[in-house]
Structure 1
């Protein structure tokens, strides 16, 4: 895949609005196991809160989805796939993000944990902004330092 195509895919999955209007995938393979993701998310979302007995199951699912997202994103970042495969990975990453957003909304209210999560998300957005503003894409850190 060409460098500009790789950057387009990474920009697409990194957009704040990437999940708007996106459906949660029916099924997804996570760690070699096929999960009925849409059914799972809607089953959990039907409830106003996560029951104590389901909390660990939901947290484990979120951890697995985040791990899978990271692995799929790395394949694009490391340019290990063709553009067509990268496009499919980007779509699946956005679907995973959509599912994670839905599951994160159901978390029981823990104000301290919520504040920490919000701070982490704010820092991530700030770092992404700085990278874009400074013209760095996460590649070589040596770029732009030659004049110092």
Structure 2
């Protein structure tokens, strides 16, 4: 493949709207294991929230997909590939990006954890407010010792 062709393919991968209209691959080999990617993504997206048991599976899948995307992009950048192989790599990378976008945009994965985080943030704001209102914030109390 000529260098300008390689640059064109890489540009397609990095284009802002590259995933618009792209299909999630039916299956994909990730780390030597064949995964039914489309089925997995649609199975997860059908739910309103991801249960705690599935959250680890989704996080692991996203991590593996990111790793696979990087490897394929590096092969496209540096590998000795033909134009046809480059096209296949670009389609696979864009499909992985599409799957990652779908998995990233899931709703809250754990309502209980999110509620606890919200309560902790509320308590922290309340304590900060009380310290300021009572004149006991860190800056003013240091000078009183």
- TM-score, normalisation: structure 2: 0.73
1:36-86 Cα shifts (integer Å, max 9, x gaps)? 000000000001111111000000000000000000000111142111111
Query: Is residue 84 from structure 1 mapped to residue 84 from structure 2 by the alignment?
Result: yes
Q: Which residue of 2 aligns with 1:54?
A: 54
Q: Which structure has the bigger radius of gyration?
A: 2
Moved over 6 A (4+): none
1:6–1:79 contact (8 Å) kept in structure 2 = no
Q: Which residue of 2 aligns with 1:65?
A: 65
2:48–2:107 contact (8 Å) kept in structure 1 = no
The 2-side partners of 1:85 and 1:62 are apart by 24
- Indicate the SS of the match to 2:19: coil
Query: Is residue 97 from structure 1 mapped to residue 97 from structure 2 by the alignment?
Result: yes
The 2-side partners of 1:76 and 1:102 are apart by 24
Q: Which residue of 1 aligns with 2:8?
A: 8
- Indicate the SS of the match to 2:34: strand
Q: Which has the higher helix share?
A: 2
RMSD: 1.2
The 1-side partners of 2:95 and 2:54 are apart by 22
- TM-score, normalisation: structure 1: 0.72
1:96-131 Cα shifts (integer Å, max 9, x gaps)? 000000000015276xxxxxxxxxxxxxxxxxxxxx
> Which runs of 5 or more structure 1 residues have no equivalent in the other structure?
111-148
Query: Is residue 31 from structure 1 mapped to residue 25 from structure 2 by the alignment?
Result: no
